[in-house]
């Protein structure tokens, strides 16, 4: 399938910007704007002497770097410009991943990132930094395809330094590390990169204990909900029985850990080409975000991007239908978060569950439809024929 024309991508991105730029979400006024104002009041250098955010400082460094723009622009515009810069980083990393896949028309497809609805909502409306950690995860996947394992782990550490949601794709890297028997000292590149990202804040005086517990404190937020507008099975459970759903936390955690363990185990016996590995990266993100408790609507952005890369590398109509299904699921959940409510979140959940099932087929039935040449092709579910076709090497 040919890439969309640059002019069409630019037109869609411009319309999205025109519609979404004046809007904002409660998170911006409750968190992001006060953080920017704190940096401006204290000064970019001294602001990190003590904690002032429930984020890791990596994002705050970037916020400090763009804080001088607040002399000419309103705070929300400054924050959204930083989010757009993050989208640029995501597009560049996506181009790098497509290069590792030897995909055609890489520049045009990378530009198409700006037109994806879930990406536009994240940057232009919410002003979030999810594109940054997703960009690092995409780079880690590219390094995995090229077997540059130290760089792979380093990018994993950088991703975690921005958002804990980077661990959603961790089952893929764990599976590859075990299968490829990567030396343990290669694994140390991840914590080394994470510590390097924390070093400026530590030197400035930020307490180490606070940095070490940021993500644990985040996990305790919204503890009375099993899911928060996430397009997954637990949002459906919350809609059906809201009073009992929070009690399913232990079951949700066990399901996510069990599915991740099964994923890692099956990856030891089923081998994929490069495009297939990207599909498995998308599956890992869908499985974890789909089964972990307390997920949010925007935690599927990584799955959106990886499924899109998988579709481009396969180039079939069925693969693009699968990517559209994931994009629809993510976008529907975001629209539900914006006020439409549970019906849209439920639509998103059904889309994500269907996409997860489709992508999981090579692990569920790896020896189906053997070919005479010794490779194995997995027939996709009815209606998406031609989507998977993962070759075993």
Q: What is the largest CA-CA distance in the chain?
A: 70
pLDDT at 217 over 90: no
Report the C-alpha gap between 114 and 135 in whole angstroms: 13
Query: Which is nearest to 153 in space by CA: 164, 162, 143, 163?
Result: 143
| Region of poorest pLDDT, from 171-175, 289-293, 337-341 | 337-341
- The residue ranges of every structural domain in the chain are 1-214, 223-393
pLDDT tens-digit profile of 136-162?
A: 999 999 999 999 999 999 999 999 999
* Half-sphere exposure in the Cβ direction for 137 (13 Å, CA): 32
For the purposes of burial, counting CB atoms within 10 Å of the CB of 327, is it exposed (0-12), middle (13-18) or buried (19 or more)? buried
Instruction: Write out the two tokens for 108.
Output: 């045009």
pLDDT at 225: 79
Q: Report residue 1's pLDDT band, with 50, 70 and 90 as the boundaries.
A: confident
pLDDT at 377 over 50: no
Question: Helix, strand, or coil here: 64?
Answer: helix
pLDDT at 376: 39
pLDDT at 389: 45
List residues bridging with 296 in a β-sheet: 228, 229
Sequence-ordered list of residues with C-beta below 8 angstroms from that of 116, at least 6 positions apart, any chain: 304, 308, 327
Mean pLDDT of 184-203: 96
Mean pLDDT of 255-274: 95
Contact 388, 380 (CB under 8 A): yes
| Region of poorest pLDDT, from 130-139, 205-214, 383-392 | 383-392
Mean pLDDT of 271-275: 93
Report the C-alpha gap between 240 and 299 in whole angstroms: 22
DSSP tag of 228: B
Contact 202, 208 (CB under 8 A): yes
Report the C-alpha gap between 26 and 38 in whole angstroms: 18
pLDDT at 366: 65
pLDDT at 229: 87
**pTM of the model as a whole:** 0.91
Report the C-alpha gap between 70 and 337 in whole angstroms: 29
Report the C-alpha gap between 280 and 290 in whole angstroms: 15
Residues 345-379: b if buried by 16+ CB within 10 A, e if exposed = bbbbbbbbbbbbebbbbbbeebeeeeeeeeebebe
């Amino acid at each position: 399938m040919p890439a969309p024309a640059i002019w069409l991508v630019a037109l869609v991105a411009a319309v999205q910007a025109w519609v979404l730029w004046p809007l904002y979400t409660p998170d911006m006024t409750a968190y992001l704007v006060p953080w920017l104002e704190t940096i401006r009041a204290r000064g970019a250098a001294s602001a990190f002497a003590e904690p002032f955010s429930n984020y890791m400082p990596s994002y705050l460094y970037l916020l400090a770097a763009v804080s001088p723009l607040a002399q000419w622009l309103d705070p929300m515009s400054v924050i959204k410009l930083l989010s757009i810069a993050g989208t640029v980083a995501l597009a560049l990393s996506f181009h790098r991943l497509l290069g590792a896949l030897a995909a055609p028309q890489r520049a045009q497809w990378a530009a198409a990132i700006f037109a994806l609805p879930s990406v536009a909502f994240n940057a232009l409306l919410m002003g979030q930094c999810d594109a940054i950690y997703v960009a690092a995860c995409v780079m880690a996947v590219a390094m995995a395809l090229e077997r540059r394992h130290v760089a792979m782990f380093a990018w994993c550490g950088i991703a975690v330094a921005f958002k804990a949601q980077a661990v959603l794709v961790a089952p893929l890297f764990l599976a590859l590390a075990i299968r490829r028997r990567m030396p343990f000292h290669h694994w140390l590149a991840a914590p080394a990169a994470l510590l390097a990202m924390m070093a400026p804040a530590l030197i400035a005086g930020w307490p180490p204990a606070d940095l070490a517990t940021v993500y644990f404190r985040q996990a305790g937020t919204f503890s009375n909900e099993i899911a928060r507008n996430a397009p997954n099975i637990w949002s459906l459970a919350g809609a059906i029985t809201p009073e009992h759903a929070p009690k399913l936390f232990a079951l949700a955690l066990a399901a996510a850990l069990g599915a991740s363990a099964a994923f890692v185990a099956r990856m030891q016996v089923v081998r994929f080409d490069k495009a297939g590995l990207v599909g498995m990266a998308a599956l890992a993100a869908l499985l974890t975000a789909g089964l972990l408790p307390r997920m949010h609507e925007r935690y599927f952005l990584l799955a959106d991007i990886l499924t899109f890369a998988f579709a481009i590398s396969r180039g079939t109509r069925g693969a693009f239908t699968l990517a559209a299904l994931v994009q629809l699921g993510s976008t529907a959940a975001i629209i539900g978060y914006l006020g439409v409510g549970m019906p849209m979140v439920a639509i998103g959940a059904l889309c994500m569950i269907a996409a997860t099932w489709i992508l999981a087929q090579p692990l569920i039935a790896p020896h189906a439809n053997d070919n005479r040449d010794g490779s194995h092709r997995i027939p996709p579910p009815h209606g998406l024929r031609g989507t998977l076709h993962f070759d075993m090497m």
